[in-house]
């Protein structure tokens, strides 16, 4: 969504996009990467049994505040499976986990700044005695450096009001993280689509050389 426009130089009119809010990484970024790290989280390597969950096609763009597509941005996502378990060894439910869910994926944005993932709609869960509303962790890196970390949320989900991480966000920041999960047009199997554009802050998105700069959130500020 476009915010109010601002003049950046005499006679030059530029509309700035609203920056996507950042959140902490959480403690369950994979401590050991799966053998399969592509952008399809439903199928592991050559397996034929898919993960359990409501199939979701997640797509979006990585953009600068001026709307310039960020090419070759390294986008990562990770989330719990249908049992509420991460692939992190310390983030699994005692009742077991879905061994067919990849749990983590990565994608290099194209010339239009676009990224794509096939995953499941996130679910609410409780781990280490902490309740969390449905969310997907998202991180962006460039040139080997983390420049952005956040958690996208399901718009309208009642669990958002109970989530302590969500409650710490101000209203304007929260609005940039809420994503609608809609029925995928033409799908006969109940698939969903979700769109999440990532607008990087100026310090993370653009330097004078036009390349990404900056680092992600401090690693000692971790919450699930």
pLDDT tens digits, one per residue of 187-222: 878 899 999 999 998 767 654 344 444 433 333 334
Give 59-94 pLDDT, tens digit per residue: 999 999 999 999 999 999 999 999 999 999 999 999
Bridge-based pairing of strands 145-154 and 135-142 is antiparallel
Task: Quickly list DSSP for 182-193.
Answer: EEPTT-SS--EE
The residue ranges of every structural domain in the chain are 18-205
How far apart, in whole angstroms, are the C-alpha atoms of residue 177 and residue 3?
A: 16
> Which class for 201: exposed (0-12), middle (13-18), buried (19 or more C-beta within 10 A)?
middle
pLDDT number for residue 190: 87
Q: Residue 84's closest CA among 130, 115, 118, 44?
A: 130
> What is the DSSP annotation of 159-215?
GGGG-HHHHTS-HHHHHTTEE-EEEPTT-SS--EEEE--EE--HHHH--TTSS----
Report field, pTM of the whole predicted structure over 0.95:
no
Q: How many CB atoms lie within 10 A of CB 97?
A: 19
* Top CATH class, 18-205: mainly beta
């Amino acid at each position: 969504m476009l915010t109010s426009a601002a003049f950046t130089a005499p006679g030059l009119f530029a509309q700035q996009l609203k920056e996507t809010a950042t959140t902490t990484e959480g403690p369950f970024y994979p401590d050991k990467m799966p053998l399969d790290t592509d952008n399809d989280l439903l199928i592991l390597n050559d397996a034929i049994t898919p993960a359990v969950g409501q199939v979701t096609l997640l797509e979006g763009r990585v953009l600068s505040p001026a709307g310039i597509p960020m090419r070759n941005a390294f986008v990562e996502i990770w989330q719990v499976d249908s049992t509420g378990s991460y692939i992190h060894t310390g983030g699994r439910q005692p009742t077991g986990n879905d061994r067919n869910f990849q749990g983590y994926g990565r994608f290099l944005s194209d010339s239009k700044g676009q990224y794509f993932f096939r995953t499941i709609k996130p679910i609410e869960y409780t781990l280490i005695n902490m309740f969390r509303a449905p969310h997907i962790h998202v991180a962006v890196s460039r040139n080997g450096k983390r420049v952005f970390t956040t958690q996208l949320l399901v718009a309208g989900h009642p669990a958002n009001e109970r989530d302590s991480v969500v409650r710490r966000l101000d209203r304007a920041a929260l609005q940039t993280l809420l994503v609608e999960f809609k029925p995928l047009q033409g799908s006969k199997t109940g698939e969903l689509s979700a769109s999440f554009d990532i607008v990087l802050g100026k310090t993370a998105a653009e330097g004078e050389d036009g390349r990404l700069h900056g680092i992600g959130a401090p690693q000692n500020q971790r919450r699930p």
